[in-house]
Amino acid sequence: ISFSYFGASPALMGACTERNINLAFCRPNGRFLARATGESNGNVLLRRQQYRVADDEMKSCCIAKNMVSGKVFNARWSLERTLRDHRFQVDTTVLKQASENLQRALGEIAKVENLDSLRGLEGEAAARYFDVFDCLLLNNKNMFFFAGRSRRPPLDPVNAMLSFIYTIL
């Protein structure tokens, strides 16, 4: 992924796509511009079945439940790993409570029967995770912190990341 206006030569793009290496080009603020990918083999029968499932809310909900469960499970796992590896550096009470909330959410997600309810549970679980996300950032808290979710990335994510990497080295 390139976050600049520097391009890639057609020869480089061709070599990458031949090796199934995808290239993505974004503006410095993170907005997507273009992508180069290798040859893809479409499967008409698979695509038709995907459309059938998308039109059936029960089947769609079943698939979406698995995806949302994986997302919530991984978020909880991240909290548990932080509790295990950095228990003396973090607020264990807050992280344990968030982990328990995510565990309860997993049980509710397993029982849900419609997509709207599933979306609500996913949103609540994401809110619980991101409420404590700043606790997971342990170094350079004065420069690298999480204040809240935003649809817009920083104006210059490349320089922000480079300065962060420089400060931790």
Beta pairing, strands 32-36 & 23-26? antiparallel
pLDDT bin (cut points 50, 70, 90) of residue 82 is very high
Full-prediction pTM beyond 0.85?
Answer: no
For the chain, the farthest-separated pair of C-alpha atoms sits apart, in whole angstroms, at: 55
pLDDT bin (cut points 50, 70, 90) of residue 78 is very high
Contact between residue 2 and residue 23 where contact means Cβ atoms under 8 Å apart: yes
> Ranked by mean pLDDT, which of 1-10, 33-42, 98-107 comes out on top?
98-107
pLDDT value for 104:
97
More confident residue, 153 or 3: 3
